[in-house]
Structure 1
Amino acid sequence: MSRTLIITNDFPPRSGGIESFVHELARRRPEGSVVVYCSSPAGSDDAADPHFDLRQPFPVVRDAARVLLPSPRVAARARSIAALEDCDSVLYGAAAPLGLLAGGLRGRVRRQVALTHGHETGWSALPGASTALRRIGDTTDTVTYLGRYTRRLLSRALSPAAAVRMRRLAPGVDVERFRPGAGGGEIRARHGLGGRPVVVCVSRLVPRKGQDTLIRAWPRVLADVPDAALLVVGDGPYGPRLRSAAAGMESVVFTGPVPRAELPAHHDAGDVFAMPCRTRRGGLDVEGLGMVYLEASATGLPVVAGDSGGAPDAVLEGETGRVVDGSRPGPVARALIGLLRDPDRAAQMGARGREWVARTWSWEHTAERLDGLLGAPGRADA
């Protein structure tokens, strides 16, 4: 049987979008066909789930290092694992920087695929980092991209031959977990929201995600929808500043960190989903895609998305939601008011979003794409 070695820094029990993406890909591979080589989790993550590795349906080899780097030591261990486990393909959980190991594994394995996310687009804009990306593209068989935006930027850093070999591979959405009726009533009761119109934002609290713009827009929303509530779900380094900005607004509720198992219920607690992300640091801090928009759509919510990077790829403008300038509170407020004051239109957008996600963004579809990438080369996506 063909076996794949997944080399990654991003793997549970650490939490995050890339971690979930890589884990879902691994567990959807055929039984006995995957080995994972990854860094050690941070102490708090390990303590939260010390038996995570033992529960996986595939071997997990943990390096002692907290971060794997494309060093001679890591390259030697990767070659050793590939040989011992009889792996004939390699999947890099994130192209930058671990895809730089590909040159040393050529000849040992038949195929090498490097996943890209949002941060590689930042690499593509920096002289030294873009040179590294070019090398990764030239030594792997395929560099993946999330959507049109990331493909456009990444292709500029790759050689023409590597750019032609790029293929689209984006995370999927579990539409059985993210669905209308996933437990939103319990979340509303927990936070005393009752039957109020609720705007929900589920995301890590960092500047790029735009929760501060939501808070700045909120007084304008309340002027038109006085009983509305804003439910800010998640935690992160920007949390104290956001709580300070919302001081005195009783209609803004912060949940703090929530278990991953409760994320569908928190989406379901809203009437509208909003995350007005914006690009920062001259294009180095950018949204790669924005899976939370697709998860919200699967839950039947209309979405208000920022226009950063690939976020618009996760929205059908005017059909499943609105794309706005995430740096300005005015456009955000107008989009939210329009949806909250027209619940029939909002419900139609939510239903259209769920249909679109179920048809186009399923994990089964993603797993089939990966099958093709690890097998024979496929045709380029549009």
Structure 2
Amino acid sequence: MTVPRTLVVTNDFPPRQGGIESYVAATLARMPAKSVVVYARGQEGDTAYDATLPFPVVRHPRGIVLPEPTVARRAAQVARSEGCEAVWFAAAAPLGLLAPELRRRAGVARAVATTHGHEVWWARIPGARDVLRRIGDAVDVLTCLGPYTKRAIAPALSPAALARVRRLSPAVDATVFRPGCGGDAVRHRYGLQGRPVVVCVSRLVPRKGQDTLIAAWPFVRLAVPDAALLLVGGGRDFDRLERMVVERGLEGSVVLTGAVPAEELPAHYDAGDVFAMPCRSRRAGLEVEGLGMVYLEAAATGLPVIAGDSGGAPEAVQDRVTGYVVPGRSLQQTTTRVLELLQDAERGRRMGELGRAWVQDQWSWDATAQRLGALLAGEDVPA
């Protein structure tokens, strides 16, 4: 397979951190460097970051990239000058609207657009739903994270566009996220040596369910008095969660780390014995988990996983094999499963081993990059 020279149009690109940014960067790192040209939003620190890459990056001078005439002209100019035959919209909505202009102005022959969690609510909101339908009709392939996101966006798409939807899953680098990748040092940093630790790595926002874990912690401590909860990440919910800890007298038992550099995240997973993020859907299903990369990263690190039942999160766990899926709003079931894994270390160890094997077998970045290359080349790829 020869991957065509491809213009990648995206707002989600490092050095900014985030789930989509990691997805895009990891996929492109495994594509042939000569096949990639990136057109991305400008941001602080981008010059130094771009200098480390083996392919050219053109930054939009006014920050966020939108499907408007100035962007269409500039992106088309880049595509023409770089000889691009294909375009990948790394987040379909709304940038996929640029596809017709790139075909007309730059002769781009093939357009692929990738949906993530946020297109789920686009599919449910009048106006936004029409935009998503236009994107589906404008591109050759619309990709989805998995079965849930495909079902969720399906009502917004024309029958022809739905027939062209293909799965393009995120993945995990199991050589980076692995048992023994630095957890002891993290435990020492936070004074958690010798204690059973439940870890949650995620943005601190209400949907992720860190508040459920804090509410469960007094009950966990009744059965496992020395258990510790390590909440890793920053976000708008930090102050509220910190108040919950103080109000319940959990200082010393619950640690909020704040934001952590991306390169330190594997070690923070490795500091745990159990991973838990009981995510829940909010706002009548407009806020959902598209998949949940953190569950796969935790499994790759050898941890048993407790996931909430929001959106596509259950697709990142083999329920009762690599961990458990719980109702995201259930304090009782979250507490029960946490205690089950803390009190039966052998069960947790077995689940962690099975989870790591599953990630290595089914969630490879090399496979994702190869599949994207095939889609860009116009090959017949199974749905």
- Range into which the TM-score falls when normalised by the shorter chain: over 0.9
Cα distance in 1, alignment partners of residues 325 and 95 from structure 2: 33
Q: Which residue of 1 aligns with 2:382?
A: 380
In structure 2, distance between residues paired with 1:268 and 1:201: 11
CA drift at 1:50 = 4.8
Superimposed CA distance per residue, residues 182-224 of structure 1 (whole angstroms, 9 cap, x where no aligned partner): 1101100111101111000000111111101111111111111
1:279–1:287 contact (8 Å) kept in structure 2 = yes
Contact 1:165/1:380 (8 A) holds in 2: no
Q: Which amino acid aligns with 1:356?
A: W
Report what 2:329 is aligned to.
327
Equivalent residue number for residue 314 of structure 2: 312
Match of 1:227 in 2: 226
Is residue 164–residue 380 contact of structure 1 (8 Å, CA) maintained in 2?
no
Tell me which residue corresponds to 2:80: 83
Do residues 105 (structure 1) and 102 (structure 2) align? yes
Partner Cα separation in structure 2 for residue 195 and residue 156 of structure 1: 51
| Cα distance in 1, alignment partners of residues 111 and 28 from structure 2 | 15
Whole-Å Cα distance in 2 between the matches of residues 296 and 152 of structure 1?
A: 26
Aligned equivalents of 2:241, 2:47: Cα separation in 1: 32
**Offset, 1:159:** 0.5
- Distance, in Å, in 1 between the alignment partners of 2:145 and 2:75 is 26
What is the aligned partner in structure 2 of residue 338 from structure 1?
Answer: 340
Q: Is the 8 A contact 1:166 1:380 kept in 2?
A: no
The one of 340, 349, 352 equivalent to 1:350 is 352
Structure 1 counterpart SS, 2:174? coil
C-alpha deviation, 1:66, in angstroms: 1.8
Matched residues in 1 for 2:341 and 2:224: separation? Answer: 11
Displacement of 1:17 in angstroms is 0.5
Q: Secondary structure at the match of 1:313?
A: helix
Three-state SS of the structure 1 residue aligned to 2:257 is strand
Moved more, 125-134 or 101-110: 101-110
2:19 aligns to what?
17
Alignment map for 1:108-147 (pairs within 5 Å) = 108-147=107-146
CA distance in 1, matches of 2:132, 2:96: 8
* Alpha-carbon distance in 1 for matches of 2:70, 2:378: 30
Whether contact under 8 Å (2:8, 2:87) holds in the other structure is yes
CA deviation map 1:86-113 (0-9, x unaligned)? 0000000100110111121225111110
Distance apart, 1:326 and its partner CA:
1.2
Q: Given that residues 23 and 170 in structure 2 are in contact (C-alpha distance below 8 angstroms), is that contact kept between their aligned partners in structure 1?
A: yes
Structure 2 unaligned spans of 5+:
none
Equivalent residue, structure 1, for 2:289: 287
- Higher mean displacement: 293-302 or 102-111: 102-111
Distance 2:93 2:315 in 1: 22
Q: Which residue of 2 aligns with 1:65?
A: 62
Name the SS for the 2:187 alignment partner. helix
The alpha-carbon deviation at position 282 of structure 1 amounts to 1.1
Corresponding residue of 1:246: 245
Q: Contact 2:177/2:266 (CA < 8 Å) preserved in 1?
A: yes
2:221 counterpart letter in structure 1? L
Give the secondary structure class of the aligned counterpart of 1:220: helix
1:286 is paired with a residue whose SS is coil
How big is the shift at 1:127?
Answer: 1.4
Secondary structure at 1:55's aligned position in 2?
A: coil
Report the equivalent of 1:184: 183
TM superposition score normalised by structure 1 = 0.97
Matches of 1:219 and 1:319, distance apart in 2: 27
**Distance in 1 of aligned mates of 2:192 and 2:47:** 36
Deviation of 1:170 after TM superposition, in Å, equals 1.4
- Match of 1:237? 236
Residue 172 of structure 2 contacts residue 364 of structure 2 at CA under 8 Å; is this kept in 1? yes
Using the TM superposition, give the Cα deviation of residue 225 of structure 1 relative to its aligned residue in structure 2, in angstroms: 1.0
SS of the residue aligned with 1:264? helix
TM-score (norm 2): 0.96
Q: Does 1:301 align with 2:303?
A: yes
| C-alpha distance in structure 2 between counterparts of 1:254 and 1:301, whole Å | 20
SS in 1 for 2:172: coil
Alignment partner of 1:37: what SS?
A: strand
**In the aligned structure 1, how far is the partner of 2:36 from the partner of 2:112?**
14
Task: Give a deviation string over 1:262-282, Cα, whole Å, max 9, x none.
Answer: 111100000000011111111
Whether the 8 Å contact between 1:8 and 1:38 is mirrored in structure 2 is yes
Deviation at 1:11, TM superposition (A): 0.4
- Distance in 2 (alpha carbons) for counterparts of 1:102 and 1:169: 19
Deviation at 1:328, TM superposition (A): 2.2
The answer to whether the Cα contact below 8 Å between 1:94 and 1:115 also exists between their aligned partners in 2 is: yes
**AA partner of residue 188 (structure 1):** R
What is the number of equivalent residue pairs in this alignment? Answer: 376
Distance 1:234 1:335 in 2: 23
Letter of the 2:49 counterpart:
F
Opposite residue 235 of structure 1, the aligned amino acid is G
Percent identity reads 58
Aligned to 1:32, what secondary structure does the other structure show?
helix
